[in-house]
Amino acid sequence: MILENIEINLPEGELIKKINSGKVLNIKMGFDPTSPDLHLGHAVAIRKLKEFQDLGHKIIIIIGDYTALIGDPSGKDKTRPTLSAEEIEKNSKTYINQLGKILDIEKIEVRRNSEWLSVMDFNEFISLLSKYTVQQIMERNDFHDRFEKGVPISLHEIIYPLIQGYDSVKIKADVEIGGQDQLFNLLIGRYLQEKYGQEPQVAVCVPLLRGLDGVQKMSKSLKNYIGLTDSSNDIYGKTMSIKDDLIEEYLKLATSFSEEEKQNCFNLLKKGENPINIKKKIAFNITETYTSKEEAEKAQKDFENKFQKRKLEDIDYIEVEISSEKNLVELIANLLKKSKSEVRKLFEAGAVSIDGEKIFDINLEIKTIKKETILKVGKLNYFKFK
């Protein structure tokens, strides 16, 4: 089971050898707190950590509060903006509670890499840099492509993989887990351990879960994610919005179903079962996993009322009090925490309606809207004017 949903496992055969050694292994996973929320894409690797935890191994979470000052350049076609220490600290505090939705946080060790990186003296730093070459760093596809295109590569980005890999040296990691896009960094950790005279870690990469767009990996910056702290309605509704060709991927990577339950769903699909019925199973499972069974049941009922039974009287509305907004665009922007330009696009797409009638007038004044009117924005947002 431990090899399930592992895309890359290097060196081949080494992972099973370490597990069979009987030793309690140090299983490492790092997080740079560049945003406050984790999502289902992160959860693919965290669930793998849980499997190791259930086998009795030691889970070590590295909060990259120091490396986040640089920003992981993996897969990026331009330099990432740097974050302030205040932003990093604020984001870091949210991670442990979110990890607790999957892991037994009483049994994990949490380290911040500022513990060793902030006190590293210049001699140590130069020694670390001397263990890798510019040619080796430029083997990374993203660096190579940017160099060929003349896109700037900052020196702090070049040293990021070395600093991240040094974390493995400091905690003596036996196994490091990450997404496929982290392979280069994981291998540098292994390389540095050898240079420092340690037994090198096994690099384990899990598949990248595609986001709601069905194309690119799930990412907050791409706004195609399902957050672990999203409301039950949002988790359920967003999951129901995935394209049919993502069903098998989400079954395999995002649910907590048993192998038998997954196989049953696969068999139903092959027999021609309506995909929406399988998506409802997936959505319920994911919502229950990150909220509760009761919340999942409420979210499913709400979804069915909105999109299947169309019982508007049963929908959970958010009541709205009009304050200083002059027109509907301003109001929706404030309600959804979106920019006015984003809201105007919703109007253009016919995604805004009042009492079932689509509204295209972006200048519609609030004072013309009657009490008890139902405002619908997109597929999931319903508001009632007080």
> With the CA atoms of 154, 155, 159 and 164 taken in that order, what torsion angle do they form, in degrees rounded to the nearest 10?
-30
Q: Of 252, 280, 310, which one is at a domain's C-terminal end?
A: 310
Helix, strand, coil percentages for the chain (3-state, nearest 5): 50, 15, 40
Confidence of residue 229 (pLDDT cuts 50, 70, 90): very high
- The residue among 206, 221, 255 that closes a domain is 206
**Between 71 and 19, whose confidence is greater?**
19
Segment 353-367 shows an average pLDDT of: 79
Q: Domain of 19: which CATH number?
A: 3.40.50.620
Q: Note whether 305 and 376 are same-domain residues.
A: no
Classify residue 218: in a domain, yes or no.
Answer: no
Q: Tell me what the mean pLDDT of segment 313-341 comes to.
A: 74
Residues 305 and 336 in one domain: no
Of 310, 329, 362, the last residue of a domain is 310
pLDDT at residue 82, as a whole number? 66
In this predicted model, which residue has the larger pLDDT, 386 or 264?
A: 264
User: For all residues of the chain together, what is the average pLDDT?
Assistant: 87
CATH of the domain at 357: 3.10.290.10
248, two tokens: 């098998």
| In-domain check, residue 215 | no
What range defines the domain where residue 326 resides? Answer: 318-385
Distances (CA, A) of 25 to 1, 49, 115, 193, 195: 17, 12, 22, 15, 20
pLDDT of residue 73: 59
- At residue 200, does pLDDT exceed 60? yes
Instruction: Judge whether 270 lies within some domain.
Output: yes
> How many degrees, rounded to 5, is the angle at CA 285 between CA 61 and CA 50?
25
As given in the structure block, the two tokens for residue 36 are: 């406050």
One domain for residues 237 and 258: yes
Among the residue ranges 212-216, 234-238, 304-308, 314-318, the one predicted with the least confidence is 314-318
Whether residues 25 and 156 share a domain: the answer is yes
Q: What was the pLDDT predicted at 226?
A: 95
In this structure, are 95 and 168 located in the same domain? yes
pLDDT at residue 77, as a whole number:
44
Rounded CA-CA distance 45/216 in Å is 17
In this model, does residue 312 exceed pLDDT 60?
Answer: no
Residues 49 and 14 in one domain: yes
pLDDT tens digits, 269-294: 888 888 889 999 999 999 999 999 99
Mean per-residue pLDDT, 56-78: 77
Task: Report the pLDDT averaged over residues 251-263.
Answer: 94
Residue 74 banded pLDDT, cuts 50, 70, 90: low
The answer to whether residue 195 is domain-embedded is: yes
Tell me if 300 is assigned to some domain: yes
Instruction: Report the number of distinct structural domains present in the chain.
Output: 3
**pTM of the full structure:** 0.76
Please check whether residue 184 lies inside any domain of the structure: yes
Q: Per-residue pLDDT tens for 139-170?
A: 877 787 888 888 888 888 888 889 999 999 99
pLDDT at 98: 92
**Residue 222 placed within a domain:** no
**Does residue 16 lie in a domain region?**
yes
> Looking at residue 147, what is its pLDDT?
82
Q: In what order do the strands lie in the sheet with 108-112?
A: 8-10, 202-206, 175-179, 26-31, 58-63, 108-112
Instruction: State the burial class of residue 48 (Cβ atoms within 10 Å of its Cβ: 0-12, 13-18, 19+).
Output: buried
pLDDT of residue 315: 54
Whether residues 238 and 373 share a domain: the answer is: no
Tokens found for residue 135? 């040619």
